[in-house]
Amino acid sequence: MADPLDDKRAGSITRRDVLLAAAAGVVIGAGSLIVPRRYFRMPQQAQAFVAKVADYQLDIADSISRGIHELSIASEELKGKRILLKPNLVETASGAPHINTHPLVLRGAIEAFLRLGAAAVMVAEGPGHRRDTLAVYEESGLADVLTEDRIAFHDLNYMTGYELPNAGRQSSLRTLTFPALFKEVDWIVSVAKMKTHHWAGATLSMKNLFGVMPGIYYGWPKNVLHHVGIENSILDINATLKPHFAIVDGIVGMEGDGPIMGDPKQAGVLVMGRNLAAVDATCCRIMGIDPYKVSYLERADRWLGPIGESVIEERGETIASVRTNFNLIETIPAHRGIRLI
């Protein structure tokens, strides 16, 4: 597929950069729906670390560092590595900072990975709702933090892509196109927001990866992925990309009509782990949601990772000690019947 941008890698943003004009999204992939084949299986046991963090002004870097240690990630795994942090940067609205991953969670993650010997840490996102990534980047407060810390930010929406075969094969897409930047990094970390979702039930670290798919290929708001099915696309992206780690910002999450119109919910937690399905199942239980009633998580079980509570080893705080039921709206079909009893 021809790329509307230059052949050189595009997308690095500073305060002075001006984003390129948005190109129209084009449909990729063709053919009839293929019966899924499981090319690989993730480990059927996993760990998830839960930290109590009551406020964004606390030492988030210490909490993340402690989580990495509790999850038995040795410094040798991170030393000299290039780490890409993918936040949930969706939209900005006056008085609604709970829409996006908080900038101080990203600062904490950056500090934690650098302390453990990472050669470089960068932040990258491709918002689905607005074509002007730079505006969301600045209005969210993330630009202030990353500029002060001298951390690079990359706009994934306008970046040249490369194709991989669709390893998930849950949708009709035969290939998936990822940003060329991903060839230059060693770890991809989903730094998500803990939110309910009016189509998927809950949006956490797995759903957060919609934002890695470049808008110049997938349109706005990633309409190609919506067309072939949100849940199918979540599974396809995760199966193909195989992200390395997840951190979910639940210090203040979003309940009700998420992922944009909901209300702030003080949950006071950070949740992290290597396996995104296990992390998201743990988040659901903290939110008072049954992960087996969230369709894409139920489908991910025993394939992309375990979601059963008995096979996810709790590290840090127990789920019972931090559970706080997020508001679910009965008139939203994806919210019906998913409350954890």
Which tens digits make up the pLDDT trace of 171-223? Answer: 999 999 999 999 999 999 999 999 999 999 999 999 999 999 999 999 999 99
Lowest mean pLDDT among 2-16, 125-139, 218-232: 2-16
Query: Which class is domain 46-335?
Result: alpha beta
Give the pLDDT band of residue 15 (cuts 50, 70, 90): very low
Given a cut of 70, is residue 251 above it in pLDDT? yes
All structural domains of the chain with their residue ranges: 46-335
What pLDDT is attached to residue 34? 37
pLDDT, mean of residues 237-257: 98
Given a cut of 60, is residue 23 above it in pLDDT? no
List pLDDT tens digits, range 253-308. Answer: 999 999 999 999 999 999 999 999 999 999 999 999 999 999 999 999 989 999 99
3-state secondary structure the chain: CCCCCCCCCCCEECCCCCCCCCCCCCCCCCCCCCCCCCCCCCCCCEEEEEEECCCCCCCHHHHHHHHHHHCCCCHHHHCCCEEEEEECCCCCCCCCHHHCCCHHHHHHHHHHHHHCCCCEEEEEECCCCCCCHHHHHHHCCHHHHHHHHCCCEEEHHHCCEEEEECCCCCCCCCEEEEEHHHHHCCEEEEEEEEEEECCCEEECCCHHHHHHCCHHHHCCCCHHHHHHCHHHHHHHHHHHHCCCEEEEEEEEEEECCCCCCCEEEEEEEEEEECCHHHHHHHHHHHCCECHHHCHHHHHHECCCECCCHHHEEEEECCHHHHCCCCCCCCCCHHHCCCECC
Give the pLDDT band of residue 43 (cuts 50, 70, 90): low
Give the pLDDT band of residue 128 (cuts 50, 70, 90): confident
What pLDDT is attached to residue 30? 34
What pLDDT is attached to residue 42? 54
The more confidently predicted of residues 31 and 312 is 312
What pLDDT is attached to residue 96? 86
Entry pTM? 0.88
